[in-house]
């Protein structure tokens, strides 16, 4: 294992802990990272009696798969070395998107509900708007993405976007970095919560304009500070 692959394993495990601390996953959901220069992917293993919630998993528990979804390397306990059933969410997005190096799939509540309702998630909050400037596309299926064909269909719906609804199922967030994909999922959830709250009032929201979003991108801090803060939350939760 290269040093960089080891770092990716640590990052994927930490992303799972962050998503748990933020309430965006329970024992389900998964994060992956493409190993640069290869057709291999580090991903959280399939949930089982031995593999519990994401907060309990470390770098040594991660598995490595190829783009066919086949296991290449397992964790410390080989008997539990199984990719997630929906590994094709990850592998087929990586096939379709050379620019993507990280994929996050969650069942986060507000964004999932917005997808069920067909409620647009609009850029109405200044920091999240810099991550999610447009309403994500919707893949109109609640089924598990447990075949390559379904993965390809989802990837086609995602297109060149960074987010996609799996209607009645959850979301995907993709980026060139695990931290950005993870923080992006959190920003999507904040905007979804705002959309749901706004819809309950019957009032039309004031949407931040593309020009304002570009200005904000030069004003607000980047992903690093938010990632560090979310990691602190995850560490505090572990301490409790």
Contacts for 8 with CB less than 8 Å, ≥ 6 apart:
33, 35, 42, 178
What pLDDT score was predicted for residue 153?
Answer: 98
Region of 15 (left: φ > 0; alpha: ψ -120 to 50; beta: rest) is alpha
pLDDT tens for residues 50-85?
Answer: 666 788 889 999 999 999 999 998 764 454 568 999
Would the pLDDT of 237 be above 60? Answer: yes
Give a yes or no: residue 235 inside a domain. Answer: no
What percent of the chain shows pLDDT beyond 90? 82
Give a yes or no: residue 237 inside a domain. Answer: no
Would the pLDDT of 220 be above 70? Answer: yes
Alpha helices in the chain (DSSP H): 3-21, 87-96, 109-117, 126-131, 148-158, 178-201, 210-217, 223-239
Give a yes or no: residue 112 inside a domain. Answer: yes
Range with lowest mean pLDDT among 143-147, 152-156, 173-177, 198-202:
198-202
Task: Quickly state the pLDDT bin for 26 (edges 50, 70, 90).
Answer: confident
The angle subtended at Cα 118 by Cα 198 and Cα 193, nearest 5°, is: 35
Give a yes or no: residue 240 inside a domain. Answer: no
Here the CATH number for the domain that contains residue 65 is: 3.40.225.10
Give a yes or no: residue 202 inside a domain. Answer: yes
* Range(s) of the domain holding residue 215: 3-229
Would the pLDDT of 240 be above 90? Answer: no
Q: Name the domain count of the chain.
A: 1
Three-state DSSP class for residue 40: strand
Tell me the catalytic residues: 86
Give a yes or no: residue 97 inside a domain. Answer: yes
Give a yes or no: residue 221 inside a domain. Answer: yes
Nearest CA-CA partner of 40 in 18, 76, 78, 73 = 73
Would the pLDDT of 161 be above 60? Answer: yes
Give a yes or no: residue 124 inside a domain. Answer: yes
Would the pLDDT of 130 be above 90? Answer: yes
Would the pLDDT of 141 be above 80? Answer: yes
């Amino acid at each position: 294992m290269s040093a960089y692959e080891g770092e990716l394993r640590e990052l994927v495990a930490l992303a799972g802990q962050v998503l748990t601390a933020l309430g965006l996953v329970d024992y389900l959901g998964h994060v992956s990272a493409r190993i640069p220069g290869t057709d291999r992917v580090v991903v959280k293993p399939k949930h089982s009696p031995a593999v519990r919630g994401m907060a309990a998993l470390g770098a040594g528990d991660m598995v490595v798969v190829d783009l066919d979804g086949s296991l290449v390397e397992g964790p410390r306990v080989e008997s539990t070395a199984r990719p997630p059933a929906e590994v094709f969410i990850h592998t087929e997005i990586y096939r379709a998107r050379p620019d993507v190096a990280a994929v996050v799939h969650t069942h986060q509540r507000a964004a999932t509900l917005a997808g069920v309702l067909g409620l647009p998630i609009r850029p109405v909050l200044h920091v999240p708007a810099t991550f999610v400037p447009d309403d994500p596309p919707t893949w109109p299926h609640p089924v598990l993405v447990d075949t390559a064909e379904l993965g390809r269909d989802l990837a086609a719906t995602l297109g060149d976007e960074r987010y996609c609804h799996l209607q009645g199922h959850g979301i995907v967030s993709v980026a060139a970095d695990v931290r950005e994909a993870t923080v992006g999922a959190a920003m999507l959830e904040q905007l979804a919560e705002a959309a749901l709250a706004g819809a309950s009032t019957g009032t039309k929201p004031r949407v931040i304009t593309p020009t304002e979003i570009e200005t904000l991108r030069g004003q607000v801090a980047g992903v690093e500070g938010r990632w560090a803060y979310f990691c602190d939350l995850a560490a505090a939760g572990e301490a409790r």
